[in-house]
Amino acid sequence: MSETHIKIDNVNAYYSGNHALKNISVRIPKKQITAIIGPSGCGKSTLLKCMNRLIDLEDEIAYSGNILIDNENIFDRKTDVVNIRKKMGLLAQKPTPLPMSIYENIAFGPRIHGVKKKPELDTIVEKYLTLAGLWEEVKDRLNSPASQLSIGQQQRLCLARGLAVEPEIILCDEPTSALDPVSSQHIEHLLLKLKEDYTIVLVTHNIHQAIRLADYVVHLYLGELVEHGTANEVFENPKEERTRAYINGTFIPEFKIDAEVNLKGNECPYNFIYAKQALHNLAKGKILKVVVDSPTAITEVPRGMEADGHNVLGVKQVNESDWEILIRKQ
Ligand code: ADP
């Protein structure tokens, strides 16, 4: 294994007492892509948020353990959080351009860090827009609002904005899940190129994306580290049956179902409305199983539930016509 960049030791995290990360210890290699995989709700984002201490912004959170980056313990409360975050770019699920021009989105960070001269800023803007594969598409409209870009372009702009403050690490939280296939491919190609110079940690529930991109794999399940190793080891010859099942798509999470609603025979939007009513009666954190047989429900119910902020834990075909959708109320 190549040189370690991030050393995670015995990390535990609790949201209001809910044990979301259980004693995680793993090494993230330098200048490689590490994919954190596992089904929804297994702790992937929580682990990522620990790495840049954005976890501090959560309500009623408690965490312990150590995370060392370049031998500095970022879990030490005395560590300067601003400095930590400077080392790390974050590419979120949905692009969040600043409400300003394309140019200003990139110049914003370097300006805060003391670059004031226009020619210098011009060079930086061109350099990072080029690196993010966006320069040719936007060079004639740098002063247009960033919000006018397509979602895929906005995501590349956010990547360029992150790179402009010269981080060492890029943390990606499902960075293509809101994008169309062509824009997703664009981001994937960029990540493969960027790993020559940056350490990349990629949270994804898309196993195919992990197979395409990862050098190193960390498999989490219900807050536990199931398995970790090089992509070859984990994908070709997993040690754990749970990993094999997850990779093969036969993984069935062993969730305790708190309520069940049979919506067979219903069409959209009624499927979604009835599922929402059933969820309404449950307490936060409880799991609802919805059984549907309408092909549109398989996409529309999960999409609506995620838009409402709930966790879709899985969608599974149970026989020729029926599907089960598991939703955790948030
Ligand atoms: P993943 O990224 O794998 O989907 P998360 O890290 O988001 O998983 O969530 C791990 C667990 O922590 C889940 O049980 C989830 O419901 C819970 N959780 C995540 N964020 C919060 C929060 N802000 N408040 C309470 N529980 C949370």
pLDDT tens across 99-145, in order? 999 999 999 999 988 999 999 999 999 999 999 999 999 999 999 99
CATH number at residue 37: 3.40.50.300
pLDDT of residue 86: 85
Which of 248, 267, 290 lies at the terminal end of a domain, its last residue? 248
Residues 288, 184 share a domain: no
177 and 149 in one domain? yes
Nearest-atom index, ligand 1, CA of 285: 16
* Residue closest to 154 by CA, chosen among 167, 138, 139: 138
Ligand 1 pocket check for 311: Cβ under 6 Å:
yes
- The pLDDT, as a whole number, for residue 208 is 87
Counted residue by residue, the chain has a size of 330
Nearest CA to ligand 1 atom 1: 41
DSSP single-letter state for residue 148:
G
The tokens for 16 are 């209001």
Cα gap 288→301, rounded to integer Å: 12
Q: Is residue 180, in this structure, part of any structural domain at all?
A: yes
Binding site membership of 224 for ligand 1 (Cβ less than 6 Å):
no
Note the pLDDT of residue 78.
87
Closest ligand 1 atom number to CA of residue 16: 25
- 291 and 210 both lie in a single domain: no
Contact (Cβ atoms closer than 8 angstroms) between residue 131 and residue 158? no
Retrieve residue 98's tokens: 């600043």
CA separation for the pair 191, 219 (Å, rounded): 20
Residue type, 320: E
DSSP 233: I
DSSP, collapsed to helix, strand or coil, labels residue 300 as helix
Ligand 1 centroid to Cα of residue 19, in Å, is 10
As a whole number of Å, the CA-based R_g of the chain is: 21
Alpha helices in 195-269 (DSSP H): 207-213, 231, 241-248
Say if residue 169 is in the same domain as residue 25: yes
Q: Which atom of ligand 1 is nearest to the CA of 21?
A: 10
Q: 302: helix, coil or strand?
A: helix
Which stretches of the chain drop beneath a pLDDT of 70? 1, 250-254
Quote the pTM value. 0.78
Domain, as residue range, for 275: 259-328
pLDDT at position 253 is: 58
Q: How many domains does the chain contain in total?
A: 2
Tell whether 166 and 271 lie within a shared domain: no
Span 116-129, pLDDT tens digits: 999 999 999 999 99
